[in-house]
């Protein structure tokens, strides 16, 4: 599997060998503030640092930009240095197992110029199921030398999507009911960006909750071979879309970009809404 993903056995082996690894525990519950920190306190991978989705992996919400804006380069630099990330560190992102927050950190690290980053396949659920050890002591503050260097080619913003006649290929990562506008539990409007195709991020996983292998990911995205457009991925607020971006990475599809503001920004901007299955 791609170096963008690491499995439990490999991570445990590399930690035991003393490899230069920084583990970031990004567990969260969108409906229960503090749940991730509580889970971390109850037990985590040795040396792992806890990162909060809202506080660490997003900037404060504004009038536009969606619910989880991308952090400023300076803020992300400070965060990575605090958890001890150097330019040559392998950063391993994990969460409870759904990989939304872990994939968000994976995307952010790459966006800010750190290529040595991988997502733990199956997250803490897989780690614990494998009987790997946990510790409860919080990790000490680090002093890394990471410096953010923004790669603007990995994202698009609202202004680039405004013209309906020149809109890129958009992929909506939410479930079918939210895409169709039948349900909308969070945002101020229901539906999807006109012209977007629905590819729920949950389809990236197999029945055991692990990421499907590269061949299965290629099959999932094989329909992209019929277009020369580079896809733009979005979701509710730029979090679960990162799982689809990870899926595309595993499939070997290059050039996919994130619309970080996603549906929440689209609604904030008062833009045209489509409903139904097209």
Q: Where are the alpha helices (DSSP H) in the chain?
A: 8-16, 35-42, 53-56, 73-82, 100-111, 123-129, 176-180, 214-220, 241-251, 262-268
Specify whether 267 is catalytic: no
Q: Where are the beta strands (DSSP E) in the chain?
A: 5-6, 21-25, 49-50, 90-94, 117-120, 170-172, 197-198, 232-234, 257-258
* Residue 120 bridge partners (DSSP): 6
Edge-to-edge, what's the strand order for the sheet holding 5-6? 5-6, 117-120, 90-94, 21-25, 49-50
* Residue 21 bridge partners (DSSP): 90
Instruction: Single out the residue of 36, 30, 66, 61 nearest to residue 51, CA to CA.
Output: 36
Could you give the CA distance from residue 213 to residue 85 in angstroms, rounded to a whole number? 29
The residue to which tokens 């020149």 are assigned: 166
Name the active-site residue from 26, 162, 189, 235: 235
Q: Which residues are catalytic?
A: 235
């Amino acid at each position: 599997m791609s170096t963008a993903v690491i499995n439990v056995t490999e991570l445990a082996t590399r930690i035991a060998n003393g490899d230069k690894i920084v583990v970031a525990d990004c567990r969260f519950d969108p409906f229960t503030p503090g749940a991730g920190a509580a889970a971390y306190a109850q037990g985590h991978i040795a040396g792992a640092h806890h990162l909060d989705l809202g506080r660490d992996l997003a900037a404060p919400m504004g009038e536009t930009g969606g619910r989880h804006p991308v952090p400023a380069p300076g803020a992300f630099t400070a965060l990575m240095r605090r958890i001890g990330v150097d330019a040559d560190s392998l950063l391993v992102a994990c969460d409870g197992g759904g990989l939304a927050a872990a994939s968000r950190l994976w995307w952010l690290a790459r966006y800010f110029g750190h290529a040595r980053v991988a997502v733990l396949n199956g997250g803490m659920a897989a780690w614990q199921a494998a009987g790997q050890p946990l510790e409860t002591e919080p990790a000490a503050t680090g002093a890394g030398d990471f410096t953010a260097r923004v790669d603007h080619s990995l994202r698009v913003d609202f202004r680039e999507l405004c013209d309906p006649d020149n809109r890129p290929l958009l992929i909506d990562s939410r479930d079918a009911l939210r895409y169709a506008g039948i349900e909308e539990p969070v945002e101020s409007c229901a539906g999807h960006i006109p012209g977007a195709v629905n590819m729920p991020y949950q389809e990236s996983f197999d029945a055991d909750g692990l990421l499907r292998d590269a061949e299965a990911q290629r099959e999932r995205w094989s329909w992209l071979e019929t277009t020369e457009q580079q896809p733009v991925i979005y979701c509710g607020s730029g979090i679960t879309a990162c799982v689809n971006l990870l899926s595309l990475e595993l499939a070997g599809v290059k050039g996919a970009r994130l619309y970080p503001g996603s549906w929440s920004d689209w609604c904030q901007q008062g833009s045209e809404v489509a409903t139904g299955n097209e």
